Amino acid sequence: MIAIFKKELWSYFGNWSAWIIIAAFSLIATLFLFFFDNDSNIFEIGMASLQSYFVLVPWLLMFIIPALSMKTFAEEQQTGTLNWLFSQPLKISDLVLGKFLSVWVVGILCLIPSLIYLYTVYALGVPEGNIDLGMTFGSYIGLIILIAAFSGVGILASSLSQNQIMAYLLGVFMCFIMYFGIEQLASYKLLGGADFILQNVGFYQHFLGFTRGLIDFKDVAYFVLVIGITLALSNHFINKKK
């Protein structure tokens, strides 16, 4: 598993793809937070808070994480190297886990430049340092866990697809449904009391708790369960191709 993790990580950073994705992610976030005229602009909000960043980032991750994960299995299948991997003394579960961890790590690294935003907001506070660090810390923990969930979904999409384009589109669609689609469907209140259950099936409500600075065991357990299910399904579908 460690060997696969290192190989995948090198494939991201060795050909500059990870650097480009991290740079693009940071540039888009910077433009929305400090330059574009929108509800996320920190200067227009007039508050020393990164709350708008934590609202914006999940939407960016919906497109970034599938871009990272689309090649994990779809590319292997396209190039024929998946059959070569099957011939190696390697467990499918180790293969899936190694690829998942590499996507997760690169996704987390996308958040590193945001520490500059944190320092900026901290310095702009009146008085200096007037920022809710508990909420900020909880939100970062939530993003790290959300990236893991998106990575699991992206790996699953790649394991289901024959090519990278299909893997990317399917990954974006699945991430969108899990984060926003289910939440919106529940908001129509078409199912009566079952709307609450439906609402808790999606990512949004569980991530929302972290953005309030609340690290609830139930929310953590939910995401761990989702990650476990997506990786188990990925393992199943890759085994079927063996």
- Quote the DSSP letter at residue 179: I
Kindly give, in sequence order, each residue whose CB lies less than 8 Å from that of residue 223, ignoring residues fewer than 6 positions away. 145, 146, 148, 149, 203, 206
Residue 19 has a pLDDT of 92
Residue 224 has a pLDDT of 97
Residue 193 has a pLDDT of 67
Q: How many domains does the chain have?
A: 1
Mean pLDDT per block of 10 residues along the chain (242 residues) reads 88 88 94 85 77 93 95 85 80 94 96 91 74 89 97 96 93 96 81 74 92 90 97 94 76
Residue 88 has a pLDDT of 80
Residue 40 has a pLDDT of 80
- Quote the DSSP letter at residue 163: S
pTM listed for this prediction:
0.93
pLDDT digits (tens, 9 = 90+) for 32-71: 988 888 888 887 776 767 888 999 999 999 999 999 999 9
Q: Is the peptide bond before 66 cis (omega within 30 degrees of 0)?
A: no
- Contact call for residues 223 and 148 (beta carbons, < 8 A): yes
- Quote the DSSP letter at residue 189: -
* Residue span of the structural domain in which 14 resides: 2-240
Rounded to a whole number of angstroms, the distance between the first and last alpha carbons of the chain is 18
